[in-house]
A = this chain, B = another copy of it.
């Protein structure tokens, strides 16, 4: 079983949360891959440099100044900080952008209807699974940031959730794969105000009901849609849980067929 874990800004921006996560991740058995975000830090650096941050539908409009900012923050500051902390916990991590080892190629998004600038979408065959397999086979733990490239010298900004999904789908060719999205909440909640109302298991059938009854709504819908898309593309199961509960098998919401 290969586990692909995605962490977001709530973990990488908080030294204590990151330290706790790194300990959990280091104890997780078997081959594993980490994918991280870092959007808050990028927004902070843009602000300090007087570069305006524009988000449309949750995606950062990435002009020339902004692709430099996100490359610095995601591939530099956050990626190396995470790798150094993992190494200190005995995890032989290797930080990667999509350009490294030609590991993830993406296509720059069409400027119509919205021009996002240097934003890329990962192609179906965009992950160089041979390179990932070679690293895992040598006991190395890939740590991906959300910077990809077009194969022609240009870096592209991507979305860490999409990178995690693409990588998990690709490595599911090698072995059974579990994709874990670390979340601020202990899972998908039946009652948004009650952290004890985690729905332990969502099948495609239950998901339809949950949507119809409005239990699942808003930003949770694209997350679960993506989860089932990953599953229909080969991932065995997708789990949404808290970063601090990574090794707690009883926590979180499991999505599977």
From A105, which residue of chain B is reached at the shortest CB distance?
Answer: B87
Residue-wise, chain A 17-59 has the 8 Å CB interface mask toward B (1 for contact) of 0000000000000000000000000000100110000000000
Given contacts A72-B72, A101-B94, whether A84 and B134 have CB atoms under 8 Å apart is no
Residue-wise, chain A 134-160 has the 8 Å CB interface mask toward B (1 for contact) of 100010100000010101111100000
| Count of chain copies | 2
Interface stretch, picked from A75-83, A210-218, A222-230, is A75-83
Number of residues in A with C-beta < 8 Å to the partner? Answer: 39
| Contact present for B153 and A80 (CB under 8 Å) | no
Residues of chain B with a CB closer than 8 A to A100's CB: 80, 83, 93-95
Taken together as a complex, chains A and B put the C-alpha atoms of A147 and B97 apart, in Å, by 17
| Contact present for A75 and B84 (CB under 8 Å) | no
Residues of chain B with a CB closer than 8 A to A73's CB: 72, 76
| Contact present for A75 and B79 (CB under 8 Å) | yes
Residues of chain B with a CB closer than 8 A to A153's CB: 84-85, 87-88
A99 at the interface (CB under 8 A from B): yes
A-B contact pairs, 9 of them (CB 8 A): A72-B76, A75-B79, A76-B79, A80-B99, A83-B97, A84-B99, A84-B154, A85-B153, A94-B100
